[in-house]
Amino acid sequence: MTVRENVSTKIAISDVILDESIYPRENIDHKRVSIFAENIRDGFEFDPIEVQVHPEKPSQYRILDGANRWTAHKEVGLTRIQVIVKELKEIDPLLYSAKMAIGPKPLTEKETRTTARRVFQNNPRLTASEIGRLIGRSRQTIANYIADLKAVRQIKLDQKIWRMNRLGIPQERIAMRLGETRDIIRNHLGKMSMLTKSPNTDLSQGLTIPQVAAKHGWTEPMLWSLVLEGKSDQNRFKALGWGLRTWDLWNFNDCDPRFGDDWPGRIPAQMIAHILFYFSNPNDLIFDPMAGGGVTADTCLALGRRCWSLDMEDRAELRPEIEPCFWDTKRKNWEDTILAGREKPDLIIFDPPYFQKKADSYGENSIARMSRREYLNFLDSFFRFLKNSTRKTTRLALINSDWRDFQSCPALKEETQNAILLTDYYKILEGAGWELTHIIQAPLSSERFNAIMVSAMQEKKILGVTSRYILLLEQKAVK
Ligand SMILES: C[S@@+](CC[C@H](N)C(=O)[O-])C[C@H]1O[C@@H](n2cnc3c(N)ncnc32)[C@H](O)[C@@H]1O
């Protein structure tokens, strides 16, 4: 156990709180509190209580040991209390509190059970014997207390491994992302047929995909990946209810809610599916460097493509397949990313935040907050990096819109030197060694301008933007 102990010091009692989430007992022991209060009035000095700096409110301290003494101090009307501020390195604070609590008075059976379960939920990697040792119970007792939680965790882990493996993420990266050893990942992968058995049975008995997803805790895209296995792209489109456009204007009214999360700047899965249909083959490796809500990965599952995804937002529990990566504009060589390995993507789907648009919805350091110059410089470096770290045959699909400062501004008065138009992107791409093969129009819905806005825009001759394009590029041959 690594505990760093600071010397005891007196602090304001109002800065100390009892945080239920790390308190192992059901209630404060009021009998003990009144005895302690009497002792304080008689001039008896208690040992300092133990606290830790509150992880979310750094001006406050939460109690690790001494809740009854702290309550007694308050009851007597004292305003300051002697504390020892502990620094618990890797130790779970609840486990530490429980260990301290059993000294003066053992935890009840119910308190032990609840503590063991809460500790396991906070840190599922702790073994039953580790927990048992600290709260004074046998390994077997703790194992019984947490058996159901352990089983649920195993299933959840299996599902994450299945999904990541299905998307073609190498085992060593799955292990690193999930904090497990490669042996554990291999072991789980060996038992995957068991995982798919019950969902498959339910599907074959006529349950719908949403019903099976809810029953077994699978995501819908995972189930689509299962049921559409071996089908052609065209049959997959049919099964998913997506009309297949055979021309270069792809307009979709809505984002298909089954694919991707609700995310700022979310794009329709149908659009990704069309890119995959025309510009990739089954089992190809797709790379999405700014994956956001995960619509590319989900659509790849449905269309039988592999997919590596990255984003600066880390959502390890919900989206383990989106690996955390911040494209730091100061570095620009990005040598240690997943593109450094031997395997290279067949197609990159790049949907960056548009210049300034929705800047407040993304993380503080997102490229959406940059100045026009910085934004274009970033893209220039990024397109060069993508070219240099992929294969000659890797294609790029860039999704973007014209950006014009049209808000409250008549078309004739727009500051055109501040705009970023399709041609600006193209100039950078060309300079970075990418050659345009297709321009596809995939407009945003015009419903974003409501009737009142439209009439104000007409009045002032404001020309809004609903254009959105997909630029398809291949790498220029070196002459
Ligand atoms: C337009 S969103 C992608 C939306 C996604 N295609 C979807 O449909 O859900 C762009 C993403 O880029 C990410 N991003 C912005 N700047 C980044 C950076 N410097 N490094 C990594 N990710 C970044 C944001 O977190 C955001 O999720």
User: pTM of the entire structure?
Assistant: 0.82
Percent of the chain with pLDDT strictly greater than 70: 98
Sign of the C-alpha dihedral, residues 413, 414, 415, 421? Answer: negative
Provide the pLDDT confidence category of residue 417 given band limits of 50, 70 and 90.
confident
- Structural contact between residues 298 and 219, judged by C-beta atoms closer than 8 angstroms: yes
Q: What pLDDT, on the 0 to 100 scale, is given for residue 378?
A: 94
Which residue's CA lies nearest to atom 17 of ligand 1? Answer: 366
- Residue 399's Cβ-count burial label (10 Å; 0-12, 13-18, 19+) is buried
How do 347-350 and 395-400 pair as beta strands? Answer: parallel
The CATH code belonging to domain 228-475 is 3.40.50.150
Measured in Å, residue 353 CA sits from the centre of ligand 1 at 6
Please name every residue paired with 288 in a beta bridge, in sequence order, or none if there are none.
309
The two tokens of residue 321 are 């397949």
Q: Is 400 close to ligand 1, i.e. is its CB under 6 Å away?
A: no
Q: What pLDDT, on the 0 to 100 scale, is given for residue 7?
A: 64
Whether the per-residue pLDDT at 29 is higher than 70: the answer is yes
Strand runs labelled E in 222-305:
285-288
Provide the pLDDT confidence category of residue 33 given band limits of 50, 70 and 90.
very high
- Structural contact between residues 401 and 445, judged by C-beta atoms closer than 8 angstroms: no
Provide the pLDDT confidence category of residue 246 given band limits of 50, 70 and 90.
very high
Instruction: Cite the DSSP H helix spans in 344-389.
Output: 372-388
- Structural contact between residues 249 and 441, judged by C-beta atoms closer than 8 angstroms: yes
Distance CA 229, CA 224 (A): 8
- Structural contact between residues 99 and 66, judged by C-beta atoms closer than 8 angstroms: no
Pick from 89, 107, 108: which is nearest to 97 by CA?
107
What is the architecture of the domain spanning 3-105? Answer: Alpha-Beta Complex (3.90)
Residue with tokens 């819905």: 445
* Number of the ligand 1 atom closest to the C-alpha atom of 293: 9
Give the residue extent of every domain in the chain: 3-105, 228-475
Q: Is 315 close to ligand 1, i.e. is its CB under 6 Å away?
A: no
Can you tell me the mean pLDDT for 214-233?
Answer: 97
Q: Is 297 close to ligand 1, i.e. is its CB under 6 Å away?
A: no
Whether the per-residue pLDDT at 447 is higher than 80: the answer is no
Phi, psi values for residue 426, rounded to 5°:
-65, -40
Q: Is 268 close to ligand 1, i.e. is its CB under 6 Å away?
A: no
478: left (phi over 0), alpha (psi -120 to 50) or beta: beta
Provide the pLDDT confidence category of residue 405 given band limits of 50, 70 and 90.
confident
Return all residues near 89 (Cβ < 8 A) that are at least 6 apart: 2, 3, 4
Residue 242: CB atoms within 10 A of its CB come to 19
Q: Is 311 close to ligand 1, i.e. is its CB under 6 Å away?
A: yes
- Residue 192's Cβ-count burial label (10 Å; 0-12, 13-18, 19+) is middle
* pLDDT single digits (tens) 294-333: 999 999 999 999 999 999 999 999 999 999 999 998 877 7
Can you tell me the mean pLDDT for 333-338?
Answer: 85
The two tokens of residue 408 are 């409250």
Q: Is 362 close to ligand 1, i.e. is its CB under 6 Å away?
A: yes
Which residue's CA lies nearest to atom 5 of ligand 1? Answer: 292
* pLDDT single digits (tens) 43-56: 988 889 999 999 88
What is the DSSP secondary structure assignment for residue 415, as one 8-state letter? -
Return all residues near 141 (Cβ < 8 A) that are at least 6 apart: 112, 132
Amino acid at 196: T
What is the DSSP secondary structure assignment for residue 130, as one 8-state letter? H
